[in-house]
Structure 1
Amino acid sequence: MESQTNESLFEIVDELETQVFLEKLISVTAQYNWLLNAFMVDFFVDELYLRIPRCWQQLYMTVRVEDIIFLLSASTHTSSTRVWPLSLLALRSFISTHSLRRHPLVSVDTVCPLPAGRSSKGLSINHLEHVSPKKMHQIRILGSLVGRFFECSNMLVGGTVVDAGSGKGHLSRLLHEVYGLKVIAVDCNDAVVSRSRVIDLKRVNKKLSTDSPIVHLVQRLTKQGWLDSLSKSEPLALIGLHACGHLSEHLIREFVVSDRCKLLLSVGCCYMHLATEHQTWKPLSRRLQSLKTTASFGYAALDCACHSNERFISKLTDANKSSSLVVHSYRAALEWLLVCRLCFSRRSRLYPVREARLLSFAEYAEKATRNLNLNLNYSELENDLTVRWMLKQWPQVAFFYALRSLLAPLVESIILLDRALFLRENGSEVLLAPLFDPLVCARNLLLVGFKASPTACVPWKRPH
């Protein structure tokens, strides 16, 4: 399916091999659809613990935090002192070797080296205000890669970057001010676009930016054909940094049908919006659409793929934060009380509770249900024999959560490889690479599409 320069780069070369690889991933996830599509809040309501395979039950009943850390560790070389079910070890090994790598790139040189004799532009931007450390991490790395692509590809000479879903325009500003690129920032929110223009004007007045402005446009990004209307002749590079849900798919389709757009850089986000209550995720590629048995990912499975196992492991290794595992049992026990004792609808919208791990169940339940106008004695509920049993099951609830998290990288891999295959089916060169630190940014995988002419080289280093 792919060849690799290291463990972090995936170039989609052969469509047939990619199809076979995807079918293998789908075959494995199909065995655990019940687990992926389960909602954690239903753990006690639906007695989900009864569905855990019998050969995993002994581990389930005696699980420890260190077991969960071992289970989710990406490296198959980590060790454990206990005897594990062989089927679970085999599943862990398969996921480790068959899901897309998430180790971040060391530098853009890993993907796109400069020609001999060329030096890279320095990366500094003057007083970029109101940008969170997480956002700065993203725009610095992605901006550097975009700048490098423009330096290395003759097909992008004189081209314009289209920052789709630009928000406040921080990425656009970096590309324009640091790399001197022409940028059109596009967003569907009129108020956000107006705010971006005000920020640009302030920067010009403070002489932090050049007088040549970024073009900010309000545009419905789901309307086909909007991209080519932005350009008369110059080539375009389309960027979707954490374009939410279906927006990433709309941008991919727009890239395919555009005559002007030569480069696509897409980092997906919010996969759960690719499904509804009654409809599962639909693949883009013709191959996956043609399969009789394809991935059946509902909201819960897609939401699971949005979280970072790296962050989860980091939290588990921190004694002050690992206690947050108990919150899963709090919410599941509260759901059982609401549904089975008080006859509320399933998954009622509750208030978010800050620092819930520091609270007793009674305190948590009272804060979470304050919008439901319940007149309950929460302390008395906490002493209910069934509730007390449920709260003691917090390690088992955490293990169930960990099993779903173990499978989550396969879900994301299927979604992104399907998008990559769709691009290949439509004649584009495709690269997948982990761009950001997963501890900083949970969704860190970049999908690159490039329309190379028969005589042109792709603007990245070919895997060997």
Structure 2
Amino acid sequence: MAKQCKYSCDTAAETLEWIKAIADFIKPFSFLINAHVVNFFKDRLWEAVDEDWLQCLSNESVESLLLIPSGIVQDHWPTSLKEFILTLKSLVYPREQADLKKVFPNFQPTSLNSVLAQGMNLKKKHEVEVLSDIVSSVASAVRADAVIDVGAGQGYLAQVLAFEHQLSVVAIDACSHHGKVTNARAERIKKHYMAQMRKFGTLLECEEVRAVISIGCCYNLLSEEGFANARIQYGFPMSCGVKSVNLSLGKSSRDLACQSAERWKSLGKDAGLHNFELHAFRAAFQMVLHKYFPEVGISPSIGRQGKALRRKQQRKIIKSELQAEESTYSDLPQMACNMEEACSVTHSGESEAGNTSGVRSDVDALFTKMSLHTGSTCETTMSTYKYSLFEKFCQSGLCRLGLKPSDDINFLGIWKEVEPYVSLIGIYWSLRAAFGPLLETLILLDRLLFLQEQGDVLESVMLPIFDPAISPRNVAIIAKKPDAGISSHHSSR
């Protein structure tokens, strides 16, 4: 069994030691971290994975695979596999929510009323409640006159800070539409509050910044030194320590850093199987593009359904299942026909609007229904239906790319070529997703080390402030000028 090492990031030296341990661990697995799963079949990516691991995990349930990113192993697994997962887990920054009352002076947890919470889902409400209390506590400790909310979105946090905590707030966001929504929402809230958001001048009027609170997210959009999206000032690496390690991530790794172990664990069997099978379809579709449309490019995006539309579709599926449990595969051919019609409609109208959700909704609905009823039909019939769905998936993908399906495309031949390896994609994705929390840890430690390298000018602390089951991106980095009353003993494991 792998030794469970403990790391600390209380000092710059300890943080750098942790970073070097991560760098040493991930370098041999660059083939997995930097892989693009759409090329799974085309490049036979599974061949780079330990054969004993694949053979062992091929016999595991979907539920067991979904627990791999959380560092949970089974006793009968190969020793090397268990050591890999447990060592990886030992390098990940812990996500259990900190005892915030012990960290921040005057921390008073509050629950937002219905007026301030309007428009917020459970995740947003939890984040705003916790973060607003922390910001208020830090602002009081450092005697700040104003708060600047950078990347304010629709102003949920800024308005709670203003109306509930009576702080002067400047909300900044790159999207002008968000500003309009924020102002309209503030006008509605003002009717219920005596205190109002006080106007604050330009940033040049600030004599100094006394504290900064940063919550990491959207690592896929992070600029990186040496890559196309790098600018004069880039987001990774920030610290001299990481630069000295000579470690780069790349887009695939930054995408992977967004994977959440908590979300994987909470998926459940049906959603997990659905996720794996959709990845298999997309990778098989890449084979179609590679063979018949080589001019398209390496791995074009064929669109993703928005979160709201996806949730809406899932609710429809659940409602349909409850209302008509007796329904089985009898309606699947009709659904396939509806998908074909939807493809033609979407293709004719999406060039202007850029709509990419319509066909994917039907694909999701049909695929989920198949996954839920895998036990109700024989293996041969299931294989036939999966091929039928794969063909429809390809047709909708071609429509989305503005490509005309040709009678010369041998969808069946490609499906038969990849079908023996379809079950491996879930294993591959689970092993790869295990690196997500580790890569996020690396990015966060780089930011913390950058602050620690400034010496006594700043005091910094890194800690998980949200419930990870509700908000997986839950780590905050807080920096302040000295003697502001914030405990700095919560960065370590």
Shorter-chain TM-score bucket reads 0.7 to 0.9
C-alpha separation in 1, matches of 2:183 and 2:200: 7
Q: Could you list the per-position Cα deviations for residues 284-307 of structure 1 after superposition, in whole angstroms to 9, with x for gaps in the alignment?
A: 11122123xx32211111101112
Q: Could you list the per-position Cα deviations for residues 353-385 of structure 1 after superposition, in whole angstroms to 9, with x for gaps in the alignment?
A: 23533372122222222123322469x84432x
Quote the residue 2:139 is aligned against: 150
Secondary structure of the 1:433 match is strand
1:267–1:98: structure 2 CA closer, same or farther, 3 Å change rule? same
* Among candidates 405, 421, 426, match of residue 375 of structure 1: 405
Do structure 1's residue 286 and structure 2's residue 272 form an aligned pair?
Answer: no
Secondary structure of the 1:284 match is coil
Structure 1 residue identity aligned to 2:166: G
Kindly indicate whether the alpha-carbon contact (under 8 Å) linking 1:112 and 1:149 is maintained by their aligned counterparts in 2. yes
* Among candidates 285, 294, 306, match of residue 258 of structure 2: 306
1:303–1:126: structure 2 CA closer, same or farther, 3 Å change rule? same
Quote the residue 1:141 is aligned against: 130
Quote the residue 2:381 is aligned against: none
Do structure 1's residue 410 and structure 2's residue 438 form an aligned pair?
Answer: yes
Quote the residue 1:451 is aligned against: 481
Structure 2 residue identity aligned to 1:270: C
C-alpha separation in 2, matches of 1:44 and 1:339: 11
Structure 1 residue identity aligned to 2:396: K
Secondary structure of the 2:210 match is strand
Quote the residue 1:270 is aligned against: 218
C-alpha separation in 2, matches of 1:21 and 1:320: 35
Quote the residue 2:290 is aligned against: 339
Following superposition, the deviation at residue 332 of structure 1 comes to 0.4
C-alpha separation in 2, matches of 1:210 and 1:174: 13
C-alpha separation in 2, matches of 1:69 and 1:168: 33
* Among candidates 96, 112, 121, match of residue 132 of structure 1: 121
* Among candidates 185, 189, 196, match of residue 212 of structure 1: 196
Quote the residue 1:165 is aligned against: 151
1:161–1:309: structure 2 CA closer, same or farther, 3 Å change rule? same
C-alpha separation in 1, matches of 2:489 and 2:73: 35
Following superposition, the deviation at residue 29 of structure 1 comes to 1.0
Kindly indicate whether the alpha-carbon contact (under 8 Å) linking 1:430 and 1:450 is maintained by their aligned counterparts in 2. yes
* Among candidates 89, 96, 103, match of residue 103 of structure 1: 96
Following superposition, the deviation at residue 458 of structure 1 comes to 3.7
Quote the residue 1:35 is aligned against: 32
Following superposition, the deviation at residue 19 of structure 1 comes to 1.2
Kindly indicate whether the alpha-carbon contact (under 8 Å) linking 1:63 and 1:399 is maintained by their aligned counterparts in 2. no
Secondary structure of the 2:434 match is helix
C-alpha separation in 1, matches of 2:417 and 2:194: 65
Following superposition, the deviation at residue 321 of structure 1 comes to 5.0
Quote the residue 1:387 is aligned against: 415
C-alpha separation in 1, matches of 2:8 and 2:34: 30
1:124–1:58: structure 2 CA closer, same or farther, 3 Å change rule? closer
* Among candidates 195, 199, 214, match of residue 181 of structure 2: 195
Following superposition, the deviation at residue 79 of structure 1 comes to 5.5
Alignment of 1:44-63 (within 5 A): 44-59=41-56, 61-63=58-60
* Among candidates 19, 40, 44, match of residue 16 of structure 2: 19
Quote the residue 2:87 is aligned against: 94
Secondary structure of the 2:301 match is coil
Quote the residue 1:401 is aligned against: 429
* Among candidates 168, 172, 176, match of residue 182 of structure 1: 168
Kindly indicate whether structure 1 or structure 2 has the higher relative contact order, using CA contacts under 8 Å at least 6 residues apart. Answer: 2
* Among candidates 392, 405, 423, match of residue 363 of structure 1: 392
Following superposition, the deviation at residue 59 of structure 1 comes to 2.6
Kindly indicate whether the alpha-carbon contact (under 8 Å) linking 1:351 and 1:367 is maintained by their aligned counterparts in 2. no
Structure 2 residue identity aligned to 1:431: V
Kindly indicate whether the alpha-carbon contact (under 8 Å) linking 1:95 and 1:409 is maintained by their aligned counterparts in 2. no
Following superposition, the deviation at residue 409 of structure 1 comes to 1.5
C-alpha separation in 2, matches of 1:67 and 1:120: 40
- TM-score of the two chains, using structure 1 as the length reference: 0.77
Structure 2 residue identity aligned to 1:289: K
Following superposition, the deviation at residue 407 of structure 1 comes to 1.4
> What residue ranges of structure 2 are gaps of 5+ in the alignment?
1-5, 305-359, 371-388
Following superposition, the deviation at residue 169 of structure 1 comes to 1.3
Kindly indicate whether the alpha-carbon contact (under 8 Å) linking 1:263 and 1:451 is maintained by their aligned counterparts in 2. yes
1:104–1:170: structure 2 CA closer, same or farther, 3 Å change rule? same
Total equivalences in the alignment:
398
Following superposition, the deviation at residue 388 of structure 1 comes to 2.5
Do structure 1's residue 350 and structure 2's residue 350 form an aligned pair?
Answer: no
Secondary structure of the 2:431 match is helix
Q: Could you list the per-position Cα deviations for residues 189-232 of structure 1 after superposition, in whole angstroms to 9, with x for gaps in the alignment?
A: 3343243223323332x2x2335324378xxxxxxxx84x1424
Secondary structure of the 1:369 match is helix
Indicate the RMSD between aligned Cα atoms, in angstroms: 2.9
Following superposition, the deviation at residue 444 of structure 1 comes to 1.7
Quote the residue 2:74 is aligned against: 80
> What residue ranges of structure 1 are gaps of 5+ in the alignment?
1-6, 218-225, 233-259
Higher helix share: 2
Alignment of 1:210-289 (within 5 A): 210-215=194-199, 227=203, 229-232=204-207, 260-275=208-223, 278=228, 282-289=236-243
Higher strand share: 1
C-alpha separation in 2, matches of 1:162 and 1:279: 26
Secondary structure of the 2:242 match is helix
Following superposition, the deviation at residue 90 of structure 1 comes to 1.3
1:462–1:365: structure 2 CA closer, same or farther, 3 Å change rule? same
C-alpha separation in 1, matches of 2:421 and 2:407: 22
Kindly indicate whether the alpha-carbon contact (under 8 Å) linking 1:432 and 1:445 is maintained by their aligned counterparts in 2. yes
Kindly indicate whether the alpha-carbon contact (under 8 Å) linking 2:159 and 2:197 is maintained by their aligned counterparts in 1. no
Following superposition, the deviation at residue 265 of structure 1 comes to 0.8
Do structure 1's residue 460 and structure 2's residue 408 form an aligned pair?
Answer: no
- TM-score of the two chains, using structure 2 as the length reference: 0.73
Structure 2 residue identity aligned to 1:397: I
C-alpha separation in 1, matches of 2:33 and 2:144: 47
Structure 1 residue identity aligned to 2:193: S
Secondary structure of the 2:248 match is coil
Quote the residue 1:71 is aligned against: 68
